Chains A and B, each alone.
Chain A
Amino acid sequence: MSVLLQPVRRPQPSKGSAKVPQRKSAQISRRNRKEGLLFWALIAPNLAAIILFGYYPTLYNFVLSFTEWDFVQPAPVIVGLENYIELFQPGSMLMGALSNTAIFVLVAVIGTLFGGMAIGALLAQKLRFTGLVRTMAFAPHMLPGAAIGVLWLFMFDPNYGLSRWLFEMFGMDSPHWTTTSEFSLWAITIAYAWQRLGFVAIIYYTAILDLPKDVYEAASLDGARGWKLFRHLTLPLLSPVTFFLVVTGIIAAAQTFDIIATLTNGGPGTSSTTLPWMIYDQAFVDFNIGTSAATATVMFVLLLIVTLVQVKFANKQVHYS
């Protein structure tokens, strides 16, 4: 930083001022005041938007979580901790949403991690057509979640979808993915994993190509190969990337909304209700503003813990942007 500031901080050579130190410093401070004003002017739009639509809502959401409101009453009514006490009753909607979110996030993150690492390693081999596969794998990451949700809704269709074709190959009937509570959470997990898998694979692919060649040469000269090489060298060298993918994967999966909204609407019942769906459903379908706000606060705290873990253990080899 300081290096970059130098050209700006360096006083401009201007007539006469050099002789009188006092006037020079007055000039600098006037200059700095001008710079300061310009600074605020330049960041004002961004800062205003971030405060008005980022920090203020977070704080006010916290306040709302101690109230009861339905958008219709003139003002929120303060009820203290009531929302939280209700939310944390055993068997409450939040408990279900928490466990659904945990299952969804864990399966999606772990699944895409293993799948992505395997695909990344495969694409890094000297093979033809890998460029085409790379492009194809990354494409779902570009698509709107709503499109992915609707596409998978059709593929999951037990009568006319690809699911029936796939299961009939094994002589089975397709499960009713999106309309039965045993499968709904798995349906959104599969669709979401499909969307993210290519992204994870490309990250691993790039990381594998970046691995230091000399270390590998040394290791192979020492007789390490195959699985041993992978287990003792590749895996540890990839651990910063894995850590990054775990953290960002948790944060991204925990906020998934569009695929759920188009595939299952959080149902049947609450079988695929995750935290984001519950926040939306409570506020904009059931108009329980306080419950929604309290749920959002719970989610915020959980994600904040994940983020702080990331900040604390951020390895120097990993840059976050």
Chain B
Amino acid sequence: MTLTAPKPTAPAATDRAQTAEPSTGARPPRGRGSASRRSGGGPRRPLPATIALYVLVAFTFAVFAVPVFWLFSSALKPENEIYTFPLTWLPSELAWQNFAEAWTSAPFGAFLKNSIITTTAGTTLEIGVALLSAYAFAFVYFRGKMLVFALMVGSLMLPGHITLLVNYITVSNLGWLNTYQGLILPGIGSAFAMFLLYQQMRQVPPELVDAAMVDGAGHLRRMVTVIIPICRPMILTATLIVLIAKWNDFVWPLIVTSTSDMRTLPIGLMFLRSQEGYDSWGPVMAGTVIVALPMLAVFFLAQRRIIGGLTAGALKG
């Protein structure tokens, strides 16, 4: 009964969609956007609904953009403009001295250096370690390896805060407090990156690996010449995710560093805030820009890859 009824309307509907599609381009304002969308035609939305939707789009944009805009605007405002009300949205002149003041009242140069060192060294080590183990799980024969795999992936269930105290004691006993190795090494064990890379390596066609093997390539050569080039996109994604996490890391650098010359940017920012008190939001916002800007830059450069990588866990495929 339901089969017969739709039949006549179905071709009509698609017809309409097909003929409507090209003509949308000619229609007044918003044709271009809708023509390029994935799902075809459909009935055209009434104008009030369209307006309402655009209001919602604008509102959503404001929710995310206004605080970010406020951050940059405040970082560049001269002091008197920060403390006026009604507030001003744009600085009348660009007060770059906020950055200079942030830079001199806290050793931001050292913070930046420490963040760069710990992030790059930590990321390189973690990805390297993850690559080796992912390759071992994917291509090296060992009877009980899935048991070891489960043990390693199981570490994802350990929240950072349960390991905090004892890791502090361990690092302290090793004499590593306030050192780069103390900042970096406890974070290089990687179940997440390994899992991501392992899944990618399983997709590599076995014929390719076989061919390399027949050519006499040992495991090392196979890994370097076959596997790593094929998995490069996923390695890049994993690297970005690990990099962001390390740059943003807070609680571990907070407890393991004790002098300002060893602090990383997020920790330095917190100390800048507490030592500047309530009367210098300009420099504090400038410091916040220094902390946030590198990750915003990374994000805008590699947006698709980062979103793809971070959302990959949630969705099928």
Listed in ascending order, the chain A residues whose CB lies under 8 Å from chain B are 1, 3-9, 32, 35-36, 38-40, 42-43, 45-50, 52-58, 60-61, 64, 119, 122-123, 125-130, 132-133, 135-147, 149-155, 157, 159-160, 162, 164-165, 194, 197-199, 202-203, 206-207, 209-210, 213, 221-222, 241, 244-245, 248, 251, 254-255, 257-258, 261-262, 275-276, 279-280, 283-284, 289, 292-293, 296-297, 299-300, 303-304, 307, 317-321
Task: Give the chain B neighbours of A319 by CB distance below 8 A.
Answer: 313, 315-317
- Chain B residues lying within 8 Å of A202, measured Cβ to Cβ, are 307, 311
Indicate whether B27 reaches chain A with its CB closer than 8 angstroms. no
User: Does chain A have a CB within 8 A of B179?
Assistant: no
Partner of A283, one of B135, B164, B291, B314: B164
Extra A-B contacts (11), CB below 8 Å, given A7-B209, A160-B87, A255-B161: A43-B137, A47-B148, A54-B158, A122-B53, A145-B266, A146-B265, A162-B66, A199-B311, A206-B315, A248-B313, A321-B192
Give complex CA distance A161, B38 in Å: 42
Contact A142 B244 (CB under 8 A): yes
A54 partner residues in chain B, CB cutoff 8 A: 155, 158, 163, 189
Quick one: which of A43, A123, A125, A198 has the most chain B CB within 10 A? Answer: A43
Verify if B257 is at the interface (C-beta below 8 Å from A): no
Q: How far is the CB of A310 from chain B (nearest CB, A)?
A: 10
The 9 closest A-B pairs by CB, nearest first: A49-B189, A57-B166, A146-B266, A42-B136, A258-B250, A57-B163, A128-B33, A39-B142, A144-B248
Q: Which of B87, B255, B266, B310 contacts A258 (CB 8 A)?
A: B266
Given the interface pairs A122-B53, A137-B60, the reply to whether A321 lies near B312 with Cβ below 8 Å is yes
Residues of B within 8 A of A38 (CB): 136, 140, 219
In contact, B191 and A150 (Cβ under 8 angstroms): no
> Which residue in chain A gives the minimum CB-CB distance to B248?
A144
Tell me how many residues of B have a C-beta within 8 Å of chain A: 121
How far, in angstroms, from A248 to B192 measured CA to CA in the complex?
14
The reply on B202 being an interface residue by CB < 8 A is yes
Q: List 27 A-B contacts (CB under 8 A).
A: A4-B138, A4-B202, A43-B148, A46-B132, A49-B188, A58-B166, A60-B169, A128-B32, A129-B61, A130-B57, A139-B64, A144-B291, A154-B281, A155-B70, A157-B278, A157-B281, A159-B83, A162-B70, A206-B314, A213-B39, A258-B248, A262-B269, A279-B165, A296-B165, A300-B158, A318-B314, A321-B313
Residue from B54, B158, B306 in contact with A55 in the complex, judged by beta carbons closer than 8 Å:
B158
Q: Is the CB of A133 within 8 A of B61?
A: yes
Residues of B contacting A: mostly: helix
Within B215-265, the residues touching A (CB, 8 Å) are 219, 244, 247-248, 250-251, 254-255, 265
Contact A145 B61 (CB under 8 A): no
- Interface SS of chain A: helix
Q: How far is the CB of B86 from chain A (nearest CB, A)?
A: 7
Say whether A139 contacts B160, CB under 8 Å.
no
With A5-B141, A52-B170, A144-B265: A258-B82 Cβ-Cβ less than 8 Å:
no
A37 smallest CB distance to B (angstroms) = 9
CB distance from A105 to the nearest CB of B (A): 13
Residues of B within 8 A of A155 (CB): 67, 70
> For window 88-107 of chain B, which residues contact chain A by CB distance below 8 Å?
none
Check A261 against B250 for contact (C-beta < 8 Å).
yes
Give the interface centre of A127, A209, A293 by most chain B CB atoms within 10 Å.
Answer: A127
Query: Are A143 and B167 in contact, CB atoms less than 8 angstroms apart?
Result: no
* Minimal beta-carbon separation of A22 from chain B (angstroms): 21
Q: How far is the CB of A117 from chain B (nearest CB, A)?
A: 13
Query: Which B residue's beta carbon lies closest to that of A292?
Result: B165
Chain B residues with Cβ below 8 Å from A157 are: 278, 281
B204 (CB) vs chain A CBs: closest residue: A4
A-contacting residues, B1-39, CB 8 Å: 2, 6, 9-10, 30, 32-34, 37-39
Name the CB-closest residue of A to B191: A50
The listed residue with most A CB atoms (<10 A of its CB), out of B60, B161, B189, is B161
CB neighbours of A151 from chain B (8 A): 67, 70-71, 285, 288, 292
Known contacts: A159-B85, A221-B6. The answer to whether A135 contacts B300 by CB under 8 A is yes
Q: Which residue of A lies closest to B172 (CB)?
A: A71
Q: Are A146 and B161 in contact (CB under 8 A)?
A: no
A58 touches B132 (CB 8 A): no
Taken together as a complex, chains A and B put the C-alpha atoms of A165 and B67 apart, in Å, by: 13
Nearest CB of chain B from residue A243's CB, rounded to whole Å: 10
B128-165 residues with Cβ-Cβ distance < 8 A to A are 129-130, 132-133, 135-143, 145-146, 148, 151-152, 155, 157-165
Please give, as numbers and ranges, the residues of chain A lying within 8 Å of B255 by CB-CB distance: 280, 284
B196 interface residue (CB < 8 Å to A)? yes
Give CA–CA (A199, B306) in the complex, Å: 11
Residues of chain B within 8 A of A210, CB atoms compared: 315-317
CA distance A251 to B296 in the complex (A): 25
Contacts of A50 in B (CB 8 A): 151-152, 155, 189, 191
Whether B267 sits at the interface, judged by CB under 8 Å, is yes
> Is B165 touching A127 in the complex (CB atoms < 8 A)?
no
Q: Is the CB of B135 within 8 A of A42?
A: yes
In the complex, A132 Cα to B54 Cα: how many Å?
13
Contact call A53/B167, Cβ cutoff below 8 A: yes
**Max chain B Cβ within 10 angstroms of own Cβ: one of A55, A133, A162, A297:** A133
Contact present for A42 and B133 (CB under 8 Å):
yes
Interface flag for B194 (CB, 8 Å) = yes
Most buried by B among A144, A160, A209, A318: A144
